Amino acid sequence: MDFITDGLFDAKDDMTPIGLLDSGGCTQVQKAMNAQNAGLKAVVLIEDANDPMALRDAKIHAAEDAALGYKLTIPYMKVLADDGNKLKDYLL
């Protein structure tokens, strides 16, 4: 599985239907939309910090992407950095 940090990827090169993506490079909604457009079926976004407030702030930033977010049809969620890194370690 490739871990993409810029939100630009091609699902044809990856057999995994669920993206495990690092935060950064673009908004979370844009990253999830890029994943959807590439053919992924769901996205787990890994926050770059372990601060639970970062997850709360993500909801605020998602509202800023409302014009794009309504086109998003795949499920996506965010996890804290420690949990995301555990997922990466398990899958590698």
Find, among 64, 82, 2, the residue nearest to 35 by Cα.
Answer: 2
Strands (E), 1-92: 18-22, 42-46, 76-79
Summarised one tens digit per residue, pLDDT across range 20-41 is: 998 888 888 888 888 899 888 8
* Global pTM value: 0.69
What pLDDT sits at residue 15?
59
Examine the pLDDT at 2 and tell me if it is beyond 60: no
Task: Sketch out the chain's domains with CATH numbers.
Answer: 11-91 (3.50.30.30)
Measured distance CA(58)–CA(27) in Å, rounded:
9
Of 53 and 63, more confident? 53
Contact (Cβ atoms closer than 8 angstroms) between residue 84 and residue 50: no
Find, among 9, 16, 7, the residue nearest to 38 by Cα.
Answer: 9
